[in-house]
Copies of this chain bind each other. A is one copy, B any other.
C-alpha cells in the first residue's frame, strides 16, 4: 500500500515534508485526505461562490460583462453546494493543527451557507472581516446598492483553542497605533499584478489582491508557518506566503492555473518584513456623502440652504437631495441647474444660516470627515 506508507512518512516528518511549498493537483477533498492530520497552521480558502447567474449583463455602453460562468462555479442546488462545502471544510479541519485557524472568503451568494456550516462542524468564529473594495464593479442597471465588499470568516479549529496566532501588536502598529478593525480597504486586483496569458486575457477570473493576503498572513501567522490554500487558483496565497517567509501548500484541479501559479511563485523573492507597512497602511481620504450630514444631525430635513449672495435658496429633503421650485437633485446638480452651468461644486456653493450669517456647508463636511477619519475610512 504505497499510498498509506506515503502518508505515514509525512506524519512522521512534517517539517521536512516534500509537499511543502508545492502545488498538489487534484480534487481538493482527495488531496486534503492525503495530507497528514494536524500539520497546517493556517488555511486560506477562496471556494466557488455559486453565483447563479442567468443571462447576459451589459454595461450602459452596451459592452458585455465578462461573467464568472466557469464550470467550477456551477452547482445544481443549495443542497449540492452545502454538501460540497461540508466535505471540504471537514477535510480541511482534519489537517489543521489544534491551534490553527482558517480564513474563508465569499460573497452574499455563498458566505452565509459557508459560515453556518463552519459553525455546525465545530469551528469557532473569531471575526468576520469585510474587504471593502476601493474600485468595485458598479451596479449597471441601478437596481441595487453597488456590491462593494466581500466577507471573510476567520475561525479557530474549535472553541477551546485559545493558543491561535494573532499578531495584535503588529496589526495595531500598522494601523497608526489603534486596533486593526474588522473592515479593510483594498483595491481589487488589476494592472500589472493581474496575471495575463499570451493573448492578454486574464488567467483566472477571480484573482485576489496580494495586499489582502498579506494582511491575512501578517495578522494570523508567524514566519515559518505552513499555510494551506485548497482552492489555489492563480496562487496569490503561495506568492504572498513565499514573499513573507511562510511555507505554503496549494491544491488545484486545473493544470492551466497550476502552471501560471508555479511560474508566478518562482519569480517571487522573499522580502524583509519592513515592506509590509506599505501594504497595511491607510488609504485615501474618505469622500463624504451629503446625506451623511443629515445622518449626523448636522442638517435637518427641511432646512434652507443659500448661495453666498442669497440669489437662490433650496430646501434639504430627507432623502439627501435638494429642491428649489421644480428643480431637484444632488447639491451639485441643483447648483449647476440654477446657475445654468455645466457643473457646480455644491460643497462650496451652498451655505446654511446661523445667527443671521451664512456658513458654508463645507464646514459641516469637515466635521463629518473628522469622524470618518477616526473610523479608518
A interface residue count range (under 10 / 10 to 19 / 20 to 34 / 35 or more): 35 or more
Min CB distance, A102 to chain B, in Å?
A: 14
Check A319–B147 contact: CB distance below 8 A: no
- A92 / chain B contacts, CB cutoff of 8 Å: none
Is A133 in the interface zone, CB < 8 Å from B? yes
The stretch from A172-180, A224-232, A257-265 touching chain B is A172-180
Is A96 in the interface zone, CB < 8 Å from B? no
- A127 / chain B contacts, CB cutoff of 8 Å: 108, 144-145, 147
Is A78 in the interface zone, CB < 8 Å from B? yes
B108, B125, B144, B295: which contacts A115 (Cβ < 8 A)?
Answer: B108
- A331 / chain B contacts, CB cutoff of 8 Å: 176
Is A153 in the interface zone, CB < 8 Å from B? yes
- A333 / chain B contacts, CB cutoff of 8 Å: 173, 177
Query: Which chain A residues (265-296) contact chain B, with CB distance < 8 Å?
Result: 271-272, 274-279, 281, 286-287, 289-292, 294-296
Check A341–B166 contact: CB distance below 8 A: no
Query: Which chain A residues (168-197) contact chain B, with CB distance < 8 Å?
Result: 168, 170-177, 179-183, 185-187
Is A302 in the interface zone, CB < 8 Å from B? yes
B58, B302, B371: which contacts A187 (Cβ < 8 A)?
Answer: B371
The stretch from A10-18, A28-36, A322-330, A354-362 touching chain B is A322-330
> What's the Cα separation between A293 and B305 when bound, in Å?
38
Number of copies: 2
B182, B277, B287, B343: which contacts A146 (Cβ < 8 A)?
Answer: B182
Check B279–A62 contact: CB distance below 8 A: no
> What's the Cα separation between A328 and B122 when bound, in Å?
38
Min CB distance, A268 to chain B, in Å?
A: 13
Is A7 in the interface zone, CB < 8 Å from B? no
- A277 / chain B contacts, CB cutoff of 8 Å: 317, 323, 328
- A108 / chain B contacts, CB cutoff of 8 Å: 115, 125, 127-128, 153
- A174 / chain B contacts, CB cutoff of 8 Å: 289-291, 319-321, 330
- A276 / chain B contacts, CB cutoff of 8 Å: 301, 317-318
Min CB distance, A232 to chain B, in Å?
A: 22
Check B139–A179 contact: CB distance below 8 A: yes
Check B112–A330 contact: CB distance below 8 A: no
> What's the Cα separation between A316 and B118 when bound, in Å?
37
The stretch from A19-27, A40-48, A211-219, A247-255 touching chain B is A211-219
Of all chain B residues, which has the CB nearest A82? B116
> What's the Cα separation between A130 and B185 when bound, in Å?
13
> What's the Cα separation between A332 and B323 when bound, in Å?
33
A-B contact pairs, 30 of them (CB 8 A): A71-B159, A74-B119, A74-B159, A108-B125, A108-B127, A111-B112, A111-B115, A113-B116, A115-B116, A126-B144, A127-B144, A129-B145, A130-B149, A132-B183, A132-B377, A145-B179, A145-B219, A146-B179, A147-B182, A167-B319, A172-B330, A173-B321, A177-B332, A185-B377, A186-B295, A214-B295, A271-B318, A276-B301, A277-B317, A279-B321
Shortest beta-carbon contacts, A-B, top 6: A174-B320, A112-B115, A174-B291, A211-B295, A170-B319, A148-B181
